Amino acid sequence: MTAVAAPPMQKPRPTARAVPAARRPRCLIVEDHRMFADLLAMTFAAAPDLAIDIVEVAPSVAAGIAACDGHRPDIVLLDLDLPDGSGIAVAEHVAAALPDTRVIVVSGQTSTFVCPPHVAAGVDAVVDKTNAFHDLQVLLADLCGPRADRGGPTGPLPGRRRLASILSKREREVLALIGQQLSSVEIAGRLGISLHTINAHRKNIARKLGVRGTNLALVAYEYREQVTRRR
């Protein structure tokens, strides 16, 4: 199959279901290097603000697909280079069978990774293994964090202290740059992280603040004005 470069992930995913408050999010790790997977799990367990359950470490495509069907995870951390094929096959299965499941690609091949267009909308972020322990804690905290208690997209923007409890530091940085009318590509360049990760932050910000579509730009502009007034 000839690899086709995926377009920037601007198209939103179908509305993701919230993880029920009564239980912790279930996370499946699809990774054939057991030591790396175990270190990830230990890192997550030691993170005070990260409450997830690692349901299984699957070392292959076949095991990953079976684990998805058996556990129906909320989050899949997915390696690409697996003994029996590409992790993209697992992403394809998740997109078809578990459309609400969040997929984060964790790979040492991010510089050359080409995401097929038919699964691009289902991949929330791409993380390089060299930065995985820090970046994944931030992303997972964002994905599993509390949603803002807002009445709707036209509600007032929370104050700065309230925003600090809703959004992570990185999300607030992204929101401020959106308020400067920078594109996702420009924000990725400014912060030195991938476009996929910026788009994941945008979706998480919108989810936490209860806004949709172009309303995020309006909220971002209001946030920038709020910050400017208080300087």
Lowest mean pLDDT among 69-83, 122-136, 182-196, 200-214: 200-214
Higher pLDDT among residues 81 and 202, named by residue: 81
Higher pLDDT among residues 133 and 32, named by residue: 32
**26-144 and 160-229 have identical folds:** no
Check if CATH label 1.10.10.10 holds for domain 160-229.
yes
Check if CATH label 3.40.50.2300 holds for domain 26-144.
yes
Specify the pTM: 0.58
Residue with tokens 């390696």: 79
CA atoms within 13 A on the CB side of 178: 25
pLDDT in tens, 138-180: 778 777 654 333 333 334 455 555 666 788 888 888 888 888 8
Q: What is the mean pLDDT of residues 45-56?
A: 83
Domain boundaries, the chain: 26-144, 160-229
From residue 19, give the alpha-carbon distance in Å to each of 23, 36, 82, 118, 224: 8, 26, 29, 25, 30
